Amino acid sequence: MKYSPQQLPKMLAQYPILVILLLVCFPSSESTAQLEAGIMAGGSVYGGDIGPDTPRDYVRQMKFSYGVFARYRVNPYIALRAHYQDLDLFGEDDLSQNAGRQLRNLHFFADVDELALQVEIHPFGDRWPISPYLIGGIAGYHFNPQAILNGEFVELQPLGTEGQGLPGFDEKYSLTRFALPLGGGLRFNFGNGVFFGLQASARATFFDHLDDVSGANYVDESILAANGPLAVELAYRGDEVPDAEQITAPTNSKRGADADDFYYSVTAQFSYQFGSRGANGLKTRRGKVKCPTF
């Protein structure tokens, strides 16, 4: 079967294994595939309904993140990468300058466990010790938003704070989901197989309950009470604000914004590349990438 240039994107979507083979078999006369293992640590932050207002707030509200990764160098321009990353996320209305958010008075914490498969693209190859790159792929993650009440952590998803699980409302959202990580970085080759990197990455979640808050309307408390008193208490916490004028949820008003949540990370990375040492002191293995024959 012949494909015209206009049909190429559809063909690649239908046959993803072909994309992988094209990447792996991308011509390279300089070096063969090489394997690395590494660690990373840095900061993580979330953007959403209870998130930071300004770029400065994003920096101030960063939490700790760490992980491990394996990297498979296909050729000087392309590498495949897999990682596990643990990210702490946090948001609090009380830190916002928005009066409506301060009155709503919600907050959340979430520990995110992420597994990702990604492709690194190095536009300038690896001819220099410093290489900028772009990275993208797919990730699966597990999270569990919680809030503090009377000094104790309370899991929010089982409560159904927006009526989830009640007749006429959505089912409770899944705590295991997928995201698309996109980002870039700088990679430094110190020789002898030792590498250092700086990477920033954003995750598009296509999901609006990372913080347990969405653009749905507040549910009437008499209806939400069917999910229990904690669902009512943690759906709106304006009654905890001193001298608050609105102590009950404003029924038929939106609880949050109609926009998906994101989360981000900035990490420093150290890795070691397995292989023989070339004459220039850098880890190299000259040869060709072998592709399957049919």
Q: Which of 96, 85, 93 is nearest to 143 (CA)?
A: 85
Joined together, the tokens standing for residue 250 give 């404003």
> Please, which pLDDT band fits residue 250 given cuts at 50, 70 and 90?
confident
> Please, which pLDDT band fits residue 251 given cuts at 50, 70 and 90?
confident
Q: What is the pLDDT of residue 272?
A: 96
Q: What is the pTM of this model?
A: 0.81
**How far is Cα 232 from Cα 248, in angstroms, rounded to an integer?**
9
Would the pLDDT of 132 be above 50? yes
Burial of 49 (0-12, 13-18, 19+ CB in 10 A): buried
Would the pLDDT of 101 be above 60? yes
**How far is Cα 185 from Cα 133, in angstroms, rounded to an integer?**
5
Per-residue model confidence as pLDDT tens digits over 134-154: 999 999 999 999 999 999 999
Would the pLDDT of 218 be above 60? yes
Domain range annotation of the chain: 32-274
Topology at the third CATH level for domain 32-274:
Porin (2.40.160)
Q: Which of 85, 95, 130 is nearest to 267 (CA)?
A: 85
